[in-house]
Amino acid sequence: MVNSAFAAETQQAPAQAAPVSAPKQAPAPQDVLVRMHKELQTALKRSQAERRWVMVIDLRRCIGCHACTVACISENKLPPGVVYRPVTIKEVGVYPKVSMEFLPRPCMQCDEPPCTEVCPVHATYKNSDGIVVVDYDQCIGCRACIAACPYGARTFDFGHNYLEGTPKGMEFLLSQEKANAYENKANIEYGKRRERNGHASPVGNVRKCHFCLHRLEAGILPACTTTCIGRATYFGDANDKGSLVHELIARADVVQLKKELGTRPRVYYIY
């Protein structure tokens, strides 16, 4: 006969296993935009003499999407023919091993800019933040600075618009009359509202990249930096030894365009 105590013990439900805790997940890496934004706020607390704005472009991460170009056009209300941030494309290799190289080319914001020296009315100069700017009210449109810039970073505003030659007043289309309201919206470059109306500045002036100076003064990164989907563009204060750009420009694979000219550009490239 089976022992009743033994039978009762064997019929008991098996012991529950101790719950297994889920493995701890590593925190998600911080987006470089968040870091650069924080570093920008820190830099703005210092005096202009203590900071040095620079841009670093990682060509290994650039995919040639032109998002930076489009963002710049939208931010600064640029008309046809005026481009602050072109991206040049070069085909390299021999078929079938062919690839494309992309080179975003903003103004280099040179510390020794040849463009400022040739202006007959001193309309272009380096401001107290070290950025090369253009005084639209002073500029006479002679375009000497365009010829002097070795980087092709300056263009002239001839007053064109994207709606030239489009239908007028047609009910089934937006038409020039309605679309002009957007195209003629004021830009706020250099902190001043300028309506695009007739021949008033900046029409008839030379125009160029200014690192989105109006955004920097408001504590916002340049438009090209925030819209780069490959996170290939970095911006910040190179004088801050803890900043991302300070780390990047110390790399061995960093170069500056046409450094041999002695222009001392503030835009660096990682190859």
Q: Which of 167, 162, 165 is nearest to 77 (CA)?
A: 162
- CA dist 209 and 227 (Å) reads 16
> Rounded mean pLDDT of the chain?
90
Mean pLDDT of 114-132: 97
DSSP 110-121: -SS-HHHHT-TT
Mean pLDDT of 58-69: 97
What φ, ψ does residue 145 adopt, rounded to 5°?
-65, -30
Helix H or strand E segment including 134: strand 132-134
Q: Is the pLDDT higher at 197 or at 116?
A: 116
User: What are the pLDDT digits (tens) for 235-249?
Assistant: 999 999 999 999 999
- CA dist 241 and 246 (Å) reads 6
DSSP 39-101: HHHHHHTS-GGG--EEEEEETTT-----HHHHHHHHHHT--TT--SS-EEEEEEEETTEEEEE
User: What are the pLDDT digits (tens) for 183-220?
Assistant: 788 899 999 999 888 889 999 999 999 999 999 999 99
Asked whether residue 4 carries a pLDDT value surpassing 80, the answer given is: no
pLDDT at res. 2: 47
- What pTM value is reported for the model? 0.85
For the domain spanning 30-270, the CATH number is 3.30.70.20
Q: What residue ranges do the domains of the chain occupy? A: 30-270
pLDDT at res. 181: 75
pLDDT at res. 6: 45
Contact between residue 22 and residue 231 where contact means Cβ atoms under 8 Å apart:
no
Q: Which residues contact 234 (CB under 8 A, 6 or more apart)?
A: 32, 36, 55, 56, 57, 58, 225, 244, 245, 248
Mean pLDDT of 46-61: 96
- CA dist 87 and 8 (Å) reads 82
Q: Is the pLDDT higher at 229 or at 5?
A: 229
